[in-house]
Structure 1
Amino acid sequence: MTYNDASLVDRSELFSSQETVAQGSKTPLLLNYWRAFQRHKLVIAVIMIACLILGFLATSLAERQFTATATIEISRQQQNVANVEAVQPEDAGETAEFYQTQYGLLRSRSLADRVTRRLNLTSDPVFLSAFDLNVADENGNEVDNAELRRRTANLLLSQLQVEPLRGSGLVDIEFESPDPELSYRIANSWADEFIASNQDRRFASTSGAREFLEQRLADLRSRLEDSERQLVTYARQREIINVSSERDGEGNATSERSLISAELEALNNELGRATAARIAARSEMSAGPSRAVVENSALNSLRQRRAELAAEYANLLTRFEPEYPDARALKSQIDELDSAIASGERRVTQVSATNYEQALQRERALQAQLQDVKEQLLQQQSDRIQYNIFQRDADTNRQLYDALLQRYKEIGVAGVGVSSIAIVDRAEIPRGPSSPNLLLNMLLATLVGSVLSGLTVLALEQIDQTLKTPEDARDALNLPILGAIPELDGDPIEALEDVKSVQSEAYLNARTNLSLATEHGIPKAFTVTSTRQSEGKSTSAMALCHSIAKLGRRAVLIDADMRNPSIHRMFGGENVHGLSSYLAGDNEVDAHIKPSPIGDWDMFYAGPIPPNPSDLLSGERLSMLVSYLSKRYDHVIIDGPPLLGFADGLLIAQVVEGVVYILEAGGAKSGAIQSSLDRLYQARATVFGAIMTKLNMDSSDYSYQYTYGSDAERD
């Protein structure tokens, strides 16, 4: 007898339900991160302390820097006293590009050269010593003045910061150096020289601008008169009549509409509507029962009445013959309604055909009219080619003449204005160093330490593929967790005998969850296995058997790990005979059963270690033993061998109802565990769930569950 038959819960359905439960209770991602940080608290603390120490040392050893700040205002438009446009257009200051240009000019090398010359920095010993600027090359020769100015300009630009104030035209010019007075002088000189350079650019003008404009005005006046005369003459000859025209602010024609084009537009719109009507009529006529037939309210009322009579007629036929008087009367009424509906549908269909013929005739008439108007418009468009040429020539000449005439009048007084740049606050001598900033550096060190800690923890978690908590196992394996057993320091038998110990409570919880794995409660026969040895498999099998026996049920524990038996060692027994003896042919089953010294349950030792346990397990005697013991006991628990590398556990899983899988916290890697589970699934074994052993309760939510009772007792 085996437990892999149809009388039990279908394994595929049970596993599907288990997988659904596991997937529906995924651990939140942030909670996984928090547990990872808890597991690596020491590493995080070391990295954070190291970063803070480095930040403090860097702050203490860094050279003190002093920053002086001058504030200027850049206006969008310069103040124009003469109220005329200058040579450079004023609208250049109304765009964002204007401010970006000004910021670029503030950082330009030419402005740095002006400041260098004004303060004579190439010969200033304070400046040279502050920045350790060498006036000699590698060979000891004195550097020429041009090269020294270039180095000085580069140095100034590297120490300069231009900070625009968001939402305003104010700009802070900041200069940083080891000398506070030097920073003060350079910041103010930079603002002064920027204003001076802006004035130089504004007042630069071309000497021949006025003479050029006079010559161009004379030529454009003559050309404008000729082009307008030609335009009027040609329009009269070709009978080009415009019903409407649009002109821009300068009087130039932007679009003109002739009489024929207006008529063509009206006909085209009317043709579009006629075509749409014809298509709609055609669709209704060719679609079989048209929409009009379906949506006709009178026909719908008749159809509804017919459906009611048909239902009533069908109801009568279930009790009477068709020749029954009432049935014959209903049949007659249904036939009359069918005739009326058919007649109504024919009338609606005829209306659709008439509508289509009328729409088609109207469409053809409009097409003929449209063709005539098109021919007239095409002829006029040919004439308008030359007309448009005359029109564009006249508009261009008029625009050029008006623009040059206006500029000719204004250019004499343009440029009389006030600078659009002003100093708001001049720089002052800094009273204290601006850098290094201890608080800022410590915050940066904290941020860097946090990032490095996070990356380190992430790397450690990626490298470590073991499962440390029940939540890790549930998420990685999609496997229900039956229980979580805290790590045990002493004797497991003493812990089980103590009903108040956390290990005893944990196995009671696992027993309760196991009772929910099948429809009939705790499985009749099941095996306990793991990925590798020393994961707490044998202890868990013994604890489950002990816990089940506390319910008053008869239970027997079979040590089927014949490669490394351990049940007899827990109780100091002699492994003289047992399972291997029975599988080898010894039929004295009762002689191999021994009572447990700690509870009302029995044991079945593994017996002498055979040369090849797989050969013994592959026979029929193991199934016969489980069948025999299942009749004698309420529950049969088999302590199976590990799955990794051996087929013993798979053979045992074939003769029991299911498997309880043991996972050591931080033990086997998830890949090995998944490989072992896949072997069970391929063998069509049912996995009820997993029990995690040797759990560190400080890193798991299960710690509260097992301390609640003791806390309440202390209170």
Structure 2
Amino acid sequence: MAEENQNKSALEKLATHNDEALLQRPLMAPARPVSNDDYGYGRYDESEGGLHVRDIWRIMRKRKWLILPLAALITLLVTIEVHRTPSVYEAENKIKASKEGGGAVISTKDFTVQADDQDSMQTMIVELTSRPLLESVVESLKLDQRPDFLDATRKRTVTEALQDIAHRFTGGTFGASVNSTEPNIKKAPTVERSAEESERLAPYVNALKGRLAATVVKDTRIIELSFTHNDPRLAADVVNAVAKNYIDQSHTRKLETFTDTSEWLTKSTNELRARMQQAEQKLADYTRNNGIFQSDGKTDITVNKLADMYAQTMKAETERMLKESVYEQVKQGRIAELPDTFADQNSSKLKEELNRLEVQDAELSVKFGTENPRVAEVREKIKILKDQIASTRSTLENKLKADYERAVRDERSLKAALETAKSDAVQQNQAGITFNILKEEVETSKRLYADFLNKMQQTNLQKVEQQKNMRIIEPAEVPGSPIGPKRMRTILLGLLVSLVFGIGLAFFLEYLDNTVKSVDDIQRFAQLPTLAIIPSIDAASQRAVKKANRRALTSGNETPNLANALVLRDDPDDQRTAVLPAEHLTSVVEAYRMLRTSVLLSTAGSPPKTILFTSGQPGDGKTTTAVNTGVSLAQLGSKVLLIDCDLRRPTLHRALRIAKQPGLSAYLSSDAKPEDVILSTRVPNLSAITCGPVPPNPAELLASDRMRELLAWASQHYEHVILDSPPLLSVTDPVVLSTRVDGVILVVQAGRSTRDILRRARQELTHVGAKVFGVVLNNLDMRREGYGPNDASYYAAGSYHREHARRHG
């Protein structure tokens, strides 16, 4: 204890500078321009830079535990998401629409009533998706009572998606499958629905319209009708129900034309039959009352004139009745039921255009909303058409009214003329005239009755003969496989995208990582050769380290044999530096042997005597590297001296398990001889000078003449002198020592030391003219950095020996 106190007192006497002076670099060699070629450092060839396939593969191997889990996770999420989307099935049927020619229903001398149900194919497409038809389908299939119909677009939950995945991958053993109910198709009545009922059915109608598609097969009269849904049976039921309801309603509309005509003819025939019976009764009564039993048919001119006048009057009255009936229909708004003779062809065309625009308005309102400009444009056209139809109706009503009034005037005129003729004929065979009039009235009534009865029978016959001009030629079947979503394609695309994203993220992280990780980084950013790559120990070696430490603690052995061992770490905060037999670390031993070879070949002529080990920052492994290099050189039989020049945080004594006293600081601050501070180690041929007491002015001590004399004396008595110095960028001690040794070895920890630190360390050394042998890439995790098992020795040997060959010819 007394000796230690004496050494500390001597050190305090040398503290002649203040703390600020210690931050400066004392006794620095004058700066001179230094070229890389002065020390044989190869300038990095930028043409060799860039990203090669080997580098890409290394980065991918390094980041594989980022890329693969990320790809697996994204692919799993994509798989779950695509299985959350229900499978979509499409059912399709085909409808054939036959051509229909127009046929006359009623044909008389004055008018013709025709039934023409010729619709264009495009009109059929619009009618197939019209709201009234789809409402009938909803009611016939009772879709409003099936909640699953509107849930077709609802995504499954994650649990349901996982069950579906399990069901598919296990072939139906596990998970849930698609269930569907049997259809119950009923013909919906074609009745006018209230606004409230249509509003209630609107969601179901919109769902049908959004999934229903109708197209015309080119150059045919066949319509392909398809419907998509997540229930395959329901899809088939819906498309078949739409086709069936449309065919039935089309046939019903066609029959309505003949039904209306037949009803009008029946009513007119009944009226004519009553009139005929009245005329016959009048003739019989007149004959009986006037005692007329027969007529010879001989009459004068007055009688013939009276008979003709009566016939014209009856005809005028019949025409007036017909025109009155037509006019009454127009007044009641039943223009559609008018015979073709009286109907306005322009009005029919306007109605067809109005129907088409109303269907288009419904479709655009559902698709774009009521505020869309296209909807407003269609509604403006509908308004204009309605005005034109109203104008046409008014014109037609005025025309028919004028015809009716003219017929009334003609009838009145003829009746007045008839009364005049009767007055004239009163004086002539009044009984014969009256008899002939009544007889003519009976015959006229019979002819009209027979004509109308014949037409009524023809209409009823044509009504019975009417057939459906459309039929389903290929009904829809339950689809066996879905049309979407394309799950496998989406999953593969997700896998590809996730791999690309993972690889891109790996390269991005690699770009952000500015630490030194490879020989190429050292050559690129420091233009220095790599002397060796020291790999990190694997898990098995770490377990061996812990076991060796426990064994050492149990046995209480503080000074193990280091002849065939390696020091594994030199953490200043760890009071127990691990020492492991070399047989446990074959790869590390080989790496240090490579470093030993590089050191011996680092100078021309003879191996270097004094070597300084330093690093850019603490914790890079400089002490471990220095000790193991000294052990490796000592194993060749060379006398090696290790000097702990880290007078601030010394660790060499713990690495070698030797005493800390007296140490280098005691020698530099006193008149002691070098032999007094040199300690022997358990490694043959290996001696060491530890730090000793930590001085207050380490930089000045290391720059003193005593340090120069120590190095000179050690060079004469030892073949190799290895100096362990503090980190280069933290203090000025390594810079001072670098000018007094044969060469400097810079230790860089892979994945920890940044490129800027490496570049600055090299600049600090070259600025004072220090000779840098090269760099040791320490603690490189070969697996993590993506290298193969033999890449470390390959890259280190290749880098150094190529540089050595270039420098020494």
Q: TM-score, normalised by structure 2?
A: 0.44
Structure number, greater radius of gyration = 2
